[in-house]
Structure 1
Amino acid sequence: MKILLIHQNFPAQFKHLGPALAERGDQIVVLTPKVKEATKWKGITVLPYAVKGSTTQGIHPWLADFETKLLRGTSCYDAALALKKRGFDPDVILAHHGWGESLFLKDVWPDARLGLYCELYHRSGKAETGFDPEFPSASPERDPLRLRLKNINNRLHEEVMDAGISPTQFQAGTFPDSYQSRITICHDGVDTDAIVANPNASLALPNGKTVTKRDEVITFINRNLEPYRGYHRFMRALPELLRRRPDADIVLLGGDETSYGARPPDGKTWKQIFIDEVRGQIPDADWARVHFMGRVPYDTFLSMIQVSTVHVYLTYPFVLSWSLIEAMSAKCAIIASDTAPVREAIIGGQTGVLVDFFDQEKLIQETCTLLDAPERREFLGANARRFARERYDLKRTCLPRQLKWVDDLAAAYPVRKPRD
């Protein structure tokens, strides 16, 4: 079978599926702007394309969002035409359509089956754009209008999507009913054979100190340290946590950029904004026990969750982080926000502890209680790993389901290109 993969940041969500397809004998070609030269990766041919053009100056911001996707879509379309002229005609196209790249691929290959990674459909309302009252929309009455325009890309893909795949019930459920029958819920999967507890793990901290499982370590991990992932709620808990736990080291992993939501004001970073907010409440000796790791190699990330005594995961109702499932696989004792889709993975009192996203005192209290309860930590960690193995294991559960999804997609009668 000939399969075309499309992702602006390849391999991303296809890092396991792509090589598995190639290993079983499928011919896999990737189009991505991430590389500059054609290359081979794990049996996959990776071809570059350049995004041509730039957003029109002074254009309405709602339209600018779609124009960016349109530029990616037309650029990818041009690369697809060139690939077709070279004789490549895929049976199946797999794409993360969130950036618009796959908008016009059915116009190049109308008989190819198009499978989309359905990450999120944008919704307005208290549970979504109005979730955190600390960061209100500048014009909440216009949010439904703005998000309707933002979903143009989703709506246009609905016309040509043969099947979709989504990692959680929550994420799939954000899409309209017209999508639902075509979306398979299947997590990307984590390698639970490789991500295990390690009683001999150690982690070197930026100040030169090394911590192990014998130390009291509170961990917090985001791709970027920002409000969408509860960074502000965690930071505000630090003064009291440090006071109550004089022997604890608090280790935070994450970059300084913004992955989701609004950018910070005045050219600052969310990381520094909330450091500045709490720093005056924390004595120097206690602040020395707060360690910002930045972005680190995967081995360092793995060591971090392996030395963790209590791991804190907070998020808005949004896309679920891989790091939560990886922490579960490593038998971490987890305290997490009681938000969707966290509740799909963390069952309160069984696979972790759930706390209200906004209840700072409860977060502090539950963290301290868990730090003082080694038997409970062991119980929660063992259950978390067992749940991760049953529900999210890459090799035994998720990857076989993903491969079946591709095969079912290949066998489906394709949706044709949009009517003129």
Structure 2
Amino acid sequence: MKALFIHQNFPGQFRHLVDHLARQGGHQLVCIGQRDGAPLPNTTYVRYRPKRAPGPATHPYLIGMESAVLAGQAVLETLLQLRQQGFVPDVVIAHPSWGETLYVREAYPAARLIHFCEFYYHTEGADVGFDPAFPLTLDQRARLRTRNALHLLNLENCDVAVSPTHWQKSVHPLAYQPRIEVIHEGVDTRAARPDPLATFELPDGRVLRAGDPVVTYVARNLEPYRGFPQFMQALAQLQAQRPDVQALIIGADGVSYGNPPADAPNWREKLLRELPLDASRTHFLGTLPHARYLQALQVSAAHVYLTVPFVLSWSLLEALASGCLVIASDTAPVREVIQHGRQGLLVDFFDVAALTQHLLAAVDQSAAFTALRQAGPAHVAARYSVDAGCAQWLALLQRVTQDFRFQR
């Protein structure tokens, strides 16, 4: 099989599938992205770069669309060069949210096109407007409706689409949902697994061990979309009652979603100004190498995962796979993964007092949650492992291409 993978931040969600196909052998794999860096083994990586940024006179609602067109043009030029060199893929698998696949069919009209459809925006019922602290303005509503124009083009262009959760599929227009498969790419359960002997060394040299009263929180960026203010408020209450609790907070100070605070450089600094936290027990670790981040999860007595209704984070599944007691928000799509009292604990996103009580119970009565800790790894292994994700992807590729057979 000849397969072309396109992702602005390659490998993104395609890492495990590309790695599986590369190890399987017998396939020609070409991967396109904007990132610098080494390609995955047994693949060809081609970097593209748009010729310019959107123009200064572009309407604010259309900046994203112009950026998508520029990315699509740059990728098309790259594809035409690949075609001249003799590469014609049987299937194109792409994350289309930045516009890279707008013109794929101009280069490869016969290739089957599979889009990874991660999200479709709504002015109510999903992420925006969920938190009353951030009311949606009329301008933001109009901007979101315009933003979906690219996503509609992507849905119209592809042969098949993939969403990682049923809820993420459900936010797409009903007319297109029949062509959307639900496949989560999976997390590496060989790396993310319980380790009763795990340790985590703090920057000051202190060593935390599995079984210690350690609370963990992870997000790409520390921001309200992922419940960072509520976590920090609960942590302040927890520290007031338990002077031995250590908090490991992993994430950068940028903004992935939403906006930065108006009165501080970032949300971390804003909340540190407002809350009485003990700096000696509150460890902001920034972005960590993956192996060290997993060590933090392995020593965790309680892991907090909060999110508005939005894209599901890998960190939730990795925390479950690592044997954490996960205390998560009762929001979509979290409740698709966790049933309260079976794989973890669910709490109202805004209920800081309830979150605090769950954290207190987790560190005071650790043995009482042994069954939940054991349920998490088994649940992830059965439904959200790399092996499960690759098996579903390969079955989809076989159906789409029809002429190819894959080893499971």
TM-score by length of 2: 0.95
2:209 corresponds to 1:212:
yes
Aligned-residue Cα RMSD (Å) equals 1.5
Q: CA deviation at 1:296?
A: 0.7
Aligned to 1:96: 95
**Number of residue equivalences:** 402
2:122 corresponds to 1:130:
no
2:346 corresponds to 1:347:
no
Letter in 1 for 2:111: A
Q: Decide which of 218, 232, 257 is 1:260's aligned counterpart.
A: 257
Q: Decide which of 125, 146, 168 is 1:171's aligned counterpart.
A: 168
Query: Any conservation in 2 of the 1:338–1:356 contact (CA below 8 Å)?
Result: yes
Aligned to 2:2: 2
Q: Decide which of 177, 181, 191 is 2:178's aligned counterpart.
A: 181
How far apart in 1 are the matches of 2:58 and 2:323? 50
Query: Any conservation in 2 of the 1:35–1:47 contact (CA below 8 Å)?
Result: no
2:307 corresponds to 1:306:
no
Q: CA deviation at 1:409?
A: 1.8
Query: Any conservation in 2 of the 1:21–1:403 contact (CA below 8 Å)?
Result: no
Per the alignment, do residues 342 and 51 of structure 1 end up closer, same or farther by CA in structure 2, a change over 3 Å counting? Answer: same
Letter in 2 for 1:56: G
How far apart in 2 are the matches of 1:267 and 1:81? 47
Within a 5 Å distance, the mapping from 1:283-302 to structure 2 comes to: 286-302=278-294
Letter in 2 for 1:169: H
Matched residue of 2:200: which SS? strand
Aligned to 2:393: 402
2:27 corresponds to 1:35:
no
Aligned to 1:107: 106
Give unmatched runs, 5+ long, in structure 1: 413-420
Q: CA deviation at 1:369?
A: 1.4
Q: CA deviation at 1:32?
A: 1.3
How far apart in 2 are the matches of 1:6 and 1:267? 37
Q: CA deviation at 1:40?
A: 4.5
Matched residue of 1:28: which SS? strand
How far apart in 1 are the matches of 2:112 and 2:257? 31
How far apart in 1 are the matches of 2:400 and 2:99? 21
Deviations 1:8-67 (A, max 9, x none): 11111111101212223211001112137xx65211100111111111113221111111
Query: Any conservation in 1 of the 2:343–2:379 contact (CA below 8 Å)?
Result: yes
Deviations 1:126-177 (A, max 9, x none): 543110011222x2x3444322210111111122110011111111111111
How far apart in 2 are the matches of 1:342 and 1:197? 21
Q: CA deviation at 1:199?
A: 1.0
2:27 corresponds to 1:26:
yes
How far apart in 1 are the matches of 2:159 and 2:196? 47
Q: CA deviation at 1:222?
A: 0.6
Aligned to 1:195: 192
Deviations 1:61-105 (A, max 9, x none): 111111111111111111111111111111100100011111110
Query: Any conservation in 1 of the 2:4–2:92 contact (CA below 8 Å)?
Result: yes
2:213 corresponds to 1:223:
no
Letter in 2 for 1:15: R
Please identify, of 200-209 and 312-321, the stretch whose mean Cα deviation from structure 2 is larger.
200-209
Q: Decide which of 364, 373, 380 is 2:365's aligned counterpart.
A: 373
How far apart in 2 are the matches of 1:30 and 1:87? 15
Q: CA deviation at 1:267?
A: 7.1
How far apart in 1 are the matches of 2:106 and 2:264? 42
Q: Decide which of 293, 313, 318 is 1:321's aligned counterpart.
A: 313
Letter in 2 for 1:404: A
Query: Any conservation in 2 of the 1:206–1:292 contact (CA below 8 Å)?
Result: no
Deviations 1:320-364 (A, max 9, x none): 110110111111111000000000111101111100000010110
Q: CA deviation at 1:107?
A: 1.4
How far apart in 1 are the matches of 2:270 and 2:74? 38
2:115 corresponds to 1:116:
yes
Query: Any conservation in 1 of the 2:263–2:270 contact (CA below 8 Å)?
Result: no
Within a 5 Å distance, the mapping from 1:36-55 to structure 2 comes to: 40-55=39-54
Aligned to 2:57: 58
Letter in 2 for 1:16: H
Letter in 2 for 1:5: F
Matched residue of 1:197: which SS? coil
Query: Any conservation in 2 of the 1:118–1:164 contact (CA below 8 Å)?
Result: yes
Matched residue of 2:3: which SS? strand
Matched residue of 2:97: which SS? helix
Matched residue of 1:308: which SS? coil
TM-score by length of 1: 0.92
Letter in 2 for 1:31: I
Aligned to 2:68: 69
How far apart in 2 are the matches of 1:75 and 1:343? 40
Per the alignment, do residues 158 and 127 of structure 1 end up closer, same or farther by CA in structure 2, a change over 3 Å counting? Answer: closer
Aligned residues with identical type, % of pairs: 40
How far apart in 2 are the matches of 1:376 and 1:118? 40
Q: CA deviation at 1:226?
A: 0.8
Q: CA deviation at 1:287?
A: 2.5
Aligned to 2:350: 358
Q: CA deviation at 1:376?
A: 2.5
